[in-house]
Structure 1
Amino acid sequence: MRTHTQLEVNGQADGRATVLAHAIMIYVVALVPTLPTFLLVRPLLLEVGPISQWDPIMTQFVLFLVLLIAFITLVQRFQRVVFGVLVAALLSLTVTTISGTFGFGDLVGGYAGVMGMLRETSNDLPMAAGRFAPFHDAFHLRRLVEQAGPEVRKAAVRMATAHFTKVKVEPEDNTLVQSFSVFKEINGRWRYVSDRKGGEYFASPAESQELMAGDCDDHAVLMAACIKAIGGEVRLVRTNGHIYPELKVGDDARLARATELIRKELFVKEARNAPLHHHTDRNGMHWINLDYTRPYPGGELMDEGIIGILDL
């Protein structure tokens, strides 16, 4: 009787172990498509009107959880088909491994490469363009940028050709690369100096170019004026107590090209493994951050809560 009971206990333990192993296998199989799907869907979801107002961390957590549950449900529903495909894939992988044409390491490396490409391309930050408040001092800031004189143009040309002149690029990349050179020149020399307490002073681009010092709005105006002077498209973004410039890089293909240039050609040491932050407007055009928070374009934002955007 005791032996029979022991066999039942062992059988129950084996059964629980089998169920646990099966559940883990389903989870792992579902996780493989969940990760790339999450990286693809995340920036699109954060652009949806009401959702863009939610807490971004909680929104992304809920999105990942929903996708994981959905793929787990699909794997459970079609597990015979899924596991049949897995068995066939493992057999094929075994054959190719033995033949030396394609091994398990190649498979893992390929998947890691896809994940890295999706993760590292950029961080698309949420925007709610329909909910922006009026841009305080918009008229004055725009006039400072648009009325920059020939001395600013001269300084902009000098800064545009101060860096990256030996990098071989296509003609369509010239303005982008020269804008990044302006960014590098200004941010490499800029020193932050606050306005007087209780007051707001907006320096002209010429004054800021001479001093290479001032507060955030002085930096933003100088950066915008210099980049506009060499043919780039820029705008100013106002957050809580801060203003920073953004450079228009264009559509998805142009964003991918800008990311490649930043990571592999122009800011290799500074941005090789760092996230690149940008916004996407309603027309699908991407704008990359040019603030002084990081020594490369697309650096981390001081505040993601946008109050207003000033097109120039």
Structure 2
Amino acid sequence: MIKPGNLTYQQLKEKFRIKSPWDMIIIFVLNILITIPIFIIAHQNLVVLDWANHFDRVLLFIVILAVIQLLLRALRRVTLISVILYFILLLFGTLSGKYGFQSVFEDYRSMVYTMSEDPYPQDIIISKLLPFPNKSKILDAIEYQNPRIRNFAIMATSKHFRDVKGYYDIHTIIQSFAVFKEINSRWNYVSDPKGRDYIAKATESLQYLSGDCDDHSVFMAACIKSIGGTTRLIHTKGHIYPELYIGTQKDLEQINYAIKKVLFPAESKNQTLNYHIDERGDVWLNLDYTAKYPGGPFMNEEILGALTLE
């Protein structure tokens, strides 16, 4: 009888060896679990080729799956140890608030959904934009440091989507959506005095949640900026509306799923997510007063000017 302390390396490998056919079953399951996060990382960092039906991504998944399968089969004698180490890493990521089981699930779910439900981009050619009208008046009207504006925004975040789980990396964007929902569900459109372009300060609009498109844009921008979000105002022919900074097109995958399936499923059902891409490749989502969900249809797509609120 061999004592545990006297086990050789070969005997240790035999001790952990899993008999056929269970070894091949475990290898395949482990392959899927390893391939998914590797595929997500590759998808987020490699250039999108935009092949028909996302065939470039399907091919990428198959290649990664095949390579991992070959590696695991070569190491099948220590498959059990590999399984344990893999789950320990994901468990550590989950407990430490980093990349864990929930993150893998959310990223994969968002990516697959976006591949079947593409958002609808609109490009902006910055060189053709004109000076923004009433720029100084609008900047003065966006009173994001006023306590009343911030209190309203905080109220909205407490009222909407407070119990939504996950999405820790886009928490501020989710709260900005809560502000959007509160404002757009209550906004009352009122025209300016005839023959005069009246720009109401955010605190003025707060009293009755009423005004025209520039008043709505000012108020929306002030509230979102007061809780850490980034917005910009878009000027079109006879219209102004706000947009929310989302990030890159890869970041949009998670936002797309959150809006369509979690936050605004009824409002966005069978609808398209509309956004603009600036000259740096950043994504900006439509928050117009006419939209029932973030990324709703544009009222006017001919852009004349853009005012970003840093």
TM-score range, shorter chain: 0.5 to 0.7
- CA 1:192–1:137 in structure 2 vs 1: closer, same or farther (change >3 Å)? same
> What's the secondary structure of 1:249's corresponding residue?
strand
What is the deviation of 1:142?
1.3
> What's the secondary structure of 2:204's corresponding residue?
helix
Q: Please say if residues 148 and 206 of structure 1, whose CA atoms lie closer than 8 Å, have aligned partners that are also in contact.
A: no
Q: Please say if residues 114 and 257 of structure 2, whose CA atoms lie closer than 8 Å, have aligned partners that are also in contact.
A: no
Give, in whole Å, the separation in 1 of the partners of 2:127 and 2:143. 26
Match for residue 196 of structure 1?
193
Match for residue 274 of structure 1?
271
Give, in whole Å, the separation in 1 of the partners of 2:202 and 2:268. 28
Question: What CA deviation, in whole Å up to 9, does each residue of 1:85-106 have, x standing for no partner?
Answer: xxxxxxxxxxxxxxxxxxxxxx
What is the deviation of 1:292?
1.7
Which structure 1 segments of 5+ residues have no match? 1-35, 41-113
> What's the secondary structure of 1:309's corresponding residue?
strand
Give, in whole Å, the separation in 1 of the partners of 2:112 and 2:167. 28
Q: How does 1:190-269 map to 2 (within 5 A)?
A: 190-269=187-266
What is the deviation of 1:38?
6.6
Match for residue 285 of structure 1?
282
What is the deviation of 1:168?
0.3
What is the deviation of 1:120?
2.6
> What's the secondary structure of 2:199's corresponding residue?
coil
Query: Hey, which bits of structure 1, 4+ residues long, moved more than 4 A?
Result: none
Give, in whole Å, the separation in 2 of the partners of 1:182 and 1:162. 9
Give, in whole Å, the separation in 1 of the partners of 2:121 and 2:174. 21
Question: What CA deviation, in whole Å up to 9, does each residue of 1:148-197 have, x standing for no partner?
Answer: 51111111111122101111023222111110000000000001000011
Match for residue 157 of structure 2?
160
What is the deviation of 1:294?
2.2
- CA 1:223–1:147 in structure 2 vs 1: closer, same or farther (change >3 Å)? closer
Q: Which moved more, 1:143-152 or 1:301-310?
A: 143-152
Does 1:151 pair with 2:155?
no
Q: Please report the TM-score for the alignment, with normalisation by the length of structure 1.
A: 0.62
What is the letter of the counterpart of residue 223 of structure 1?
Answer: M
- CA 1:147–1:256 in structure 2 vs 1: closer, same or farther (change >3 Å)? closer
> What's the secondary structure of 1:278's corresponding residue?
strand
Indicate the percent of aligned positions where both proteins have the same amino acid: 43
Which structure 2 segments of 5+ residues have no match? 1-49, 55-110
> What's the secondary structure of 1:269's corresponding residue?
coil
Give, in whole Å, the separation in 2 of the partners of 1:235 and 1:285. 12
- CA 1:268–1:293 in structure 2 vs 1: closer, same or farther (change >3 Å)? same
> What's the secondary structure of 1:174's corresponding residue?
helix
> What's the secondary structure of 1:155's corresponding residue?
helix
What is the deviation of 1:131?
0.6
> What's the secondary structure of 1:268's corresponding residue?
coil
Match for residue 124 of structure 1?
121
- CA 1:144–1:39 in structure 2 vs 1: closer, same or farther (change >3 Å)? farther
Q: Counting helix residues as a fraction of each chain, which structure ranks higher?
A: 1
Give, in whole Å, the separation in 2 of the partners of 1:189 and 1:119. 33
- RMSD of aligned residue pairs (Cα, Å): 1.9
Q: Please say if residues 143 and 149 of structure 2, whose CA atoms lie closer than 8 Å, have aligned partners that are also in contact.
A: no
Give, in whole Å, the separation in 2 of the partners of 1:190 and 1:298. 17
Q: Please say if residues 113 and 257 of structure 2, whose CA atoms lie closer than 8 Å, have aligned partners that are also in contact.
A: no
Q: Please say if residues 249 and 288 of structure 1, whose CA atoms lie closer than 8 Å, have aligned partners that are also in contact.
A: yes
Give, in whole Å, the separation in 1 of the partners of 2:168 and 2:121. 27
Q: How does 1:176-191 map to 2 (within 5 A)?
A: 176-191=173-188
What is the letter of the counterpart of residue 150 of structure 1?
Answer: P
Give, in whole Å, the separation in 2 of the partners of 1:189 and 1:230. 20
Match for residue 136 of structure 2?
139
> What's the secondary structure of 2:276's corresponding residue?
strand
Match for residue 3 of structure 1?
none
